[in-house]
Amino acid sequence: MAEEIAIALPFSIDPYGKVSQTKEQSKIWADKVRSVIGTALKERVMRPLFGTDISSSVYEGQDFAELSVKDAVATAFNTQLQRLQLQSVSSVFDTYTNTLTVDVTYALPNDEVVSTTIGILSISGNLIPREETL
């Protein structure tokens, strides 16, 4: 199998004026996981089924949001990230800052197990939830 090369995220230009790339498989897959989980369903016009419905579920309260996030991540892995094996999903809600942090552990196609923090989802009153990557 040929080694996969992808654009390094966040997008940047290297010192030679070229788009930065990476061959690190855990980084490539972590970027793909963040892309799928961080995209709302119907956000991409040509791919309306790409992403998850996490952003709409956080308005239903802390307990529902945590369960919904776990279900959405599992569904995303079953439908859009089939080459990865989901190991666990943990979410922690901080009532002081009203943030939801989600950690996903999964096995890469080469059986290496990695953990990715999807980000921090801020829930503030009636504002749209937003993800802040770490």
The structure tokens listed for 96 are 């002081």
Q: Tell me the mean pLDDT in the region 118-126.
A: 57
63-94 per-position pLDDT tens digit = 777 888 889 999 999 999 999 999 999 988 77
- 61, part of any domain: yes
Report d(CA 41, CA 63) in Å as an integer: 22
> Any idea what the CATH number is for the domain that residue 97 is in?
3.10.450.40
pLDDT of residue 134: 43
pTM more than 0.85: no
For residue 59, the SS3 value is: helix
Calculate the average pLDDT of the chain. 82
- The answer to whether residues 51 and 44 touch, using CB atoms and an 8 Å cutoff, is yes
- 1, part of any domain: no
Tally of domains in the chain: 1
- pLDDT at residue 121 greater than cutoff 60: no
Q: Which domain holds residue 97?
A: 6-132
- pLDDT at residue 129 greater than cutoff 60: no
14-45 per-position pLDDT tens digit = 889 999 888 988 888 988 998 898 888 888 89
User: What b/e string do you get for 53-75 counting C-beta neighbours within 10 Å, with b at 16 or more?
Assistant: ebbebbeeeeeebbebbbebbee
- 90, part of any domain: yes
Report d(CA 119, CA 44) in Å as an integer: 20
